[in-house]
């Protein structure tokens, strides 16, 4: 170990030619704080210009990882107490980290060993190598709390085949490691008891990351979602939310009833936001363009009623009874959605680091 700097919630250090980012906030399932984002960004900036660092590993230090998202309670407090100002700052800098990872010039390996949601998706999906295990639980559950699949979610989800991204964005469905590999959200599937060996071998020879992961990879169990792929493509084929609901409603099957009921618990506003977000993101050629779009959305959505209410019902009070406003998809006007996606004043637009 040549250098070591620590912040309490993320360890940044080097092992030989490997830069190592290890999330260390186990009581919060390693959810990201602004300080953690800044520590990771600073380390990546140093390593980008350090010829001695050949690759970067991202993992979690202890407990059930990998990363359960962003600091949602902090964001809700911002929405309620400072008009979203500190929340927007969090989104802005977190998105800079997401973009920094996406454009990083050296190989990055993310070990998604455990819960990988929201912000955890944002720091793992940009990696060239994304390792799932039997412990992986991947989801973008934001529509259930009046948010949307941000941190680059628009880019990644819109590029999955068969409308899988739209399904994941709207329902917040959880994928296991085998399903992550099948959808392409993971590049390798390793047993968790092989991760220490994988990291040791990568540290010993960073030029062989691909070969090392392939040698330690195993055939995962069947991806359960594969058997529903045709149904997902059929029922989630429209970018109009009402069409999706009507399609599920029209089919008399246990699966369609279950998914229709799931959507009934989500914020109608942010379901419509997510569909438009993915539709626009599919056409972007530059990841920075995607992050600028998501920052515009985040800046508006954080102070809309559904966010504070969704976090209250799901995370704070745990009553599971959010009162959405607007209450129905029909009440969510095109004008409201347009206002959420509108450009910000020039001096407020998101910019990369």
Active-site positions? 70, 119, 142, 150
* CB distance 118 to 141 below 8 Å: yes
Instruction: Report the 10 Å Cβ neighbour count for 235.
Output: 25
Of the candidates 16, 10, 81, 102, the one whose C-alpha atom is nearest the C-alpha of residue 52 is: 16
Of the candidates 249, 251, 303, 252, the one whose C-alpha atom is nearest the C-alpha of residue 75 is: 303
Of the candidates 278, 246, 274, the one whose C-alpha atom is nearest the C-alpha of residue 260 is: 246
318 phi-psi bin (left φ>0, alpha ψ -120 to 50, beta other) = left
- CA dist 139 to 167, 207, 222, 301, Å? 11, 31, 18, 20
Half-sphere exposure of residue 136: CA atoms within 13 angstroms, side-chain side: 34
Q: How far is the C-alpha of 16 from the C-alpha of 31, rounded, in Å? A: 28
Of the candidates 252, 276, 247, 281, the one whose C-alpha atom is nearest the C-alpha of residue 263 is: 247
For 85-116, give the DSSP string: HHHHHHHHHHHHHHHHHHT-SS-EEEEE-EEE
Of the candidates 149, 181, 142, 176, the one whose C-alpha atom is nearest the C-alpha of residue 165 is: 149
Of the candidates 256, 229, 233, 253, the one whose C-alpha atom is nearest the C-alpha of residue 245 is: 256
* CB distance 2 to 16 below 8 Å: yes
Q: Which residues contact 226 (CB under 8 A, 6 or more apart)?
A: 179, 182
- CA dist 140 to 5, 147, 149, 172, 210, Å? 31, 10, 6, 5, 27
């Amino acid at each position: 170990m040549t250098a070591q700097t620590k912040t309490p919630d993320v360890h940044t250090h080097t092992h030989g030619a490997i830069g190592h980012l290890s999330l260390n906030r186990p009581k919060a399932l390693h959810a990201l704080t602004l300080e953690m984002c800044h520590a990771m960004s600073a380390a990546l900036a140093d390593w980008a210009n350090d010829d001695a660092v050949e690759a970067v590993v991202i993992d979690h230090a202890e407990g059930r990882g990998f990363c359960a998202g962003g600091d949602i309670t902090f964001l809700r407090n911002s929405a309620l107490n400072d008009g979203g100002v500190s929340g927007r700052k969090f989104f802005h800098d977190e998105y800079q980290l997401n973009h920094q990872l996406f454009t990083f010039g050296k190989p990055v390996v993310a070990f998604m060993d455990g819960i990988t949601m929201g912000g955890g998706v944002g720091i793992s999906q940009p990696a060239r190598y994304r390792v799932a295990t039997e412990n992986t639980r991947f989801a973008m559950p934001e529509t259930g709390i009046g948010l949307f699949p941000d941190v680059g979610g628009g880019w990644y989800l819109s590029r999955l085949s068969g409308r899988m991204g739209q399904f994941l964005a709207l329902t917040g469905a959880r994928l296991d490691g085998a399903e992550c590999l099948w959808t392409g959200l993971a590049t390798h599937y390793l047993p968790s008891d092989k991760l220490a060996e994988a990291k040791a071998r990568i540290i010993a020879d960073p030029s062989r990351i691909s070969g090392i992961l392939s040698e330690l990879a195993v055939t995962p169990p069947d991806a359960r979602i594969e058997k529903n792929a045709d149904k997902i493509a059929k029922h989630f084929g429209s970018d109009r939310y009402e069409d999706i609901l009507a399609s599920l409603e029209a089919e008399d099957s246990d699966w369609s009833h279950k998914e229709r009921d799931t959507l009934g618990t989500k914020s109608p506003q942010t379901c419509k936001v997510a569909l438009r977000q993915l539709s626009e993101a599919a056409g972007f050629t530059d990841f920075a363009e995607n992050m600028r779009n998501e920052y515009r959305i985040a800046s508006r959505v954080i102070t809309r009623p559904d966010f504070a209410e969704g976090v209250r019902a799901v995370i704070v009070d745990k009553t599971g009874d959010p009162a959405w406003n607007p209450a129905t998809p029909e009440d969510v006007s095109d004008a409201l959605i347009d206002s959420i996606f509108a450009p910000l004043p020039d001096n407020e637009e998101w910019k990369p680091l």
